[in-house]
Copies of this chain bind each other. A is one copy, B any other.
Amino acid sequence: MEIAERVLAGNIRAVARLMTELECNRPYALKILHELYPHTGKAHIVGVTGAPGVGKSTLIDSVTRSLRRRGMTVGILAIDPTSPFTGGALLGDRVRMEKHNTDPGVFIRSLATRGGTGGLSRAALRMAHVLDAMGKDMVIIETVGIGQAEIDITKMTDTSVLILVPGMGDTIQLMKAGILEAADIFVINKSSRDGAETLRAELENMPTSGRQRPVILTESVLNQGTEEVVEQVFRHKQDLISSGELRERRRKRAVYELMSDVEGAVRNAIEAGMKGEVERLAEDIIEKKTDPSTAAAEILENVFNHIRRAP
């Protein structure tokens, strides 16, 4: 059976292998993604973001269990380098996560973040397509949500959940960073701490261009508030569908992904056939014989010839 068919049938080994090939950006894997693409668009893509230590993975864990009880299947993509999914955190967290590995209704994948920024969000979206095509009802993308690339990814999801904890920083700073405006649902975790009600009031009184965004108080280690998070995600999904905004968000995502792919193709062409020329021009730059943007124009001329010659 072909790989695309095996992925569509939910074969976990085929999915895992395809994801690795996609991370390595192999043309062969892109061809399979091309075959899978018509089968995507059914999964709801949820971003969960917040600073390290706010409890993102604990919440994702309890939300996943809730979704499983409702009979839904879940894909999880972790692109937070401090996430227990990627192996960065406390042993207790990791053990809890690994329980899902024996459940065929849950597929967990961590993404390496070392490949540079553009590649990161592009890889995350490609993985989300694969999870979508294999039939996952919901895809959850976990990011640390502080760097620009991470905010970009948040903007690319259908529903974006931002987790805050009381006393961890100024909401005005988050607003300036564009973190608050990208959120559809606010979660205040560790809400038994001082300052939870003040934070809730701040978030509720924040000016918004669209609908009023829900603020949910949780204690995710005690599994408190999980059901309300799940309900609000469902409600947001319904709102997106009935208002027509889901289509608009996915159109923007398509533009973003298209542009990432264009840049990726150029970068690949350079790495495949022009490394020597890049090195030579870098020497010229530090010798002040040329400058980066002039050298870039020279590279581009050759990229065109390279890509045109490619089959």
Copies of this chain present: 2
B81 touches A282 (CB 8 A): no
13 contacts between A and B (CB under 8 A): A30-B293, A33-B293, A88-B173, A88-B177, A117-B148, A147-B149, A254-B292, A257-B285, A258-B292, A258-B296, A262-B296, A265-B300, A304-B307
| Chain B residues whose C-beta falls within 8 Å of the C-beta of A40 in the assembled complex | 288
Which of A178, A262, A300 has the most chain B CB atoms inside 10 A of its CB?
A262
CB distance from A305 to the nearest CB of B (A): 9
A258 touches B299 (CB 8 A): yes
- Beyond contacts A88-B172, A262-B270, A262-B303: 11 other A-B pairs, Cβ-Cβ < 8 A, are A33-B293, A41-B288, A82-B170, A82-B176, A86-B176, A89-B173, A144-B147, A147-B148, A251-B283, A258-B292, A258-B295
Known contacts A176-B86, A251-B282, A288-B37; is A120 also within 8 Å of B148 by CB? yes
A282 touches B266 (CB 8 A): no
Binding site secondary structure of chain A? helix
A169 touches B37 (CB 8 A): no
Determine the distance from Cα of A279 to Cα of B248 in the docked complex, in whole angstroms.
12
| Chain B residues whose C-beta falls within 8 Å of the C-beta of A257 in the assembled complex | 285, 292
The verdict on A263 contacting chain B, using a C-beta distance below 8 Å, is: yes
